[in-house]
Amino acid sequence: MKNLLSTFLFICFCTSFLNGQGLTESYTSFDIRILKGTMSPETGNLALSFTENSIRELEYSFNNDYDGSISYTALEIGLKFGKYKGMSYSLDLSAPLSGQGKGKFGLSVGYNYPIPIGTMDLLFRPSLGFTGGSSNVNIGEISVDTVGIVIADTDYVDRDVNVDISQSACYLIPKLETTLLFEQKFGLSFSVAYDYEVFNNEQEIEFTATDFDATDVAFSDTFIDLQFNGTRPTDNIFTSNGLTFALGISWYYNRE
């Protein structure tokens, strides 16, 4: 009887421990996060040269060494809804803060586990997400004068033109997020995730400038000479798989 009572008290204690401190059943939250991510180009040297096709026929060349890892910073916003203890869902949109990195939009499904800590609650949320997006690895930049240049029939005038390798892809993203929740109104979060490509398109060389549409050309285009480790690549030369870490703040709106 004593052992049975001890077991019952232990179960009651664990149940109250995992239910959080008087949490309402459901919530909606708005999240803002700063994300630090990585991508994985092949290790080696990338050289690009081309002649633009205006009457001046200006020549440009770039030479870059990649060591197998590229980091970037992105801003991410999210909308979460679900139960404080139970299933929850999140819509997330992210964009790199510079020309290099990954931009993504997608949905994740997770499960919240609340743990009381003093007057606060700690939410653990493992989740699995599916997102689509695009990634860019920077090769260099061209400063164009007021006379302008022509790249693949697009006339760029008086602009800085970024030259990147771009790719669109879809990802599966396992993620673990922890949020320190204050009075069910405000949260501080940290998360770690991994972007895993499940589908990707052929990579291209992309020319972009403010107020201009992007110009995309294939690796095999005749007016460019792209070399990776001394040979012209016939396939993608980097993967956008990689770890991401994020710090964020959240505003919570409780629902019964």
Residue 30: count other Cβ atoms within 10 Å of its Cβ. Answer: 13
Average pLDDT, the chain: 86
Measured CA to CA, the distance from residue 91 to residue 107 in angstroms comes to 5
Measured CA to CA, the distance from residue 144 to residue 46 in angstroms comes to 23
Helices in the chain by DSSP H: which ranges?
A: 2-18
Dihedral (CA of 84, 85, 91, 92) sign: positive
Please report the pLDDT score of residue 13 as a whole number.
42
Banded pLDDT at 23 (limits 50, 70, 90): low
Residues 177-188 pLDDT 10s = 999 999 888 999
Architecture of the domain spanning 2-255:
Beta Barrel (2.40)
In the chain, where the domains are located: 2-255
Given the structure tokens 């609650």, which residue do they identify?
121
pLDDT at 73 over 90: yes
Lowest mean pLDDT: which of 4-8, 52-56, 144-148? 4-8
Predicted model pTM: 0.80
Measured CA to CA, the distance from residue 113 to residue 110 in angstroms comes to 10
| Contact yes or no for 99/138 (Cβ under 8 A) | yes
Measured CA to CA, the distance from residue 252 to residue 92 in angstroms comes to 16
pLDDT at 105 over 90: yes
Please report the pLDDT score of residue 22 as a whole number.
54
**Cα–Cα separations (whole angstroms), residue 130 to 26, 141, 152, 205:** 23, 33, 34, 26
